[in-house]
Amino acid sequence: MPIRVFISIPIPNTAGLVPMMEDLKTVRGVRTSPVKQLHITLRFLGDIEEEQLDRVEEIVNESLIGVHASRILLKGLGAFPNQRAPRVLWAGVETDIPLAEISERISRKLRAAGIPFDEKPFKPHITVARVEGTPNLVHKFSKYKTTEFATYLPNAVHVMRSELGPKGATHTIERVCYLH
């Protein structure tokens, strides 16, 4: 039976993001992400067969060879597709970990293994909210442009299951792959 899967780096230290997210909640049309589910998505696979999880774990472990843990800084507020027409609000990610390279390694290996995934270009971020309508968020973007929300040292990459429900997605850790 197919399961919905993504590969991510967890965010254990979310306290610094909470005041900004509470501020965003005051804007009509902005729905913040559950704090417990904040993460950096390295690659979204979508629906795959459950039997493929072991291969996905191997691919992630192979892609992490030679990658050492390094601090991650969560800084600034931005939007996809852009700040004039925001649909997704994100906190930026700064780190010496080669996140784009890891994402590309995972993509190449998934392709070679015939495991489908979302081919959107990788941009390191944390989705903090989704936007409906056209609220004016100019003040929020300028207010949080250079704010440093949190810093932490990650030790793992997770292969996650995402189950969609009436109250949003529920995330479950399926596999843990450690940074060296």
**Residues with a known catalytic role:** 39, 125
Q: How far apart are CA 144 and CA 46, in angstroms?
A: 31
- Which amino acid, 128? V
Cβ neighbours for 5, distance < 8 A, ≥ 6 positions apart? 45, 46, 47, 48, 53, 56, 159, 160, 161, 162, 174
Cβ atoms within 10 A of the Cβ of 15, count?
9
3-state secondary structure 93-119: EEECCCHHHHHHHHHHHHHHHCCCCCC
Cβ atoms within 10 A of the Cβ of 34, count?
13
Cβ neighbours for 121, distance < 8 A, ≥ 6 positions apart? none
What phi, psi does 73 have (nearest 5°)? -110, 130
CB 150 within 8 A of CB 13: yes
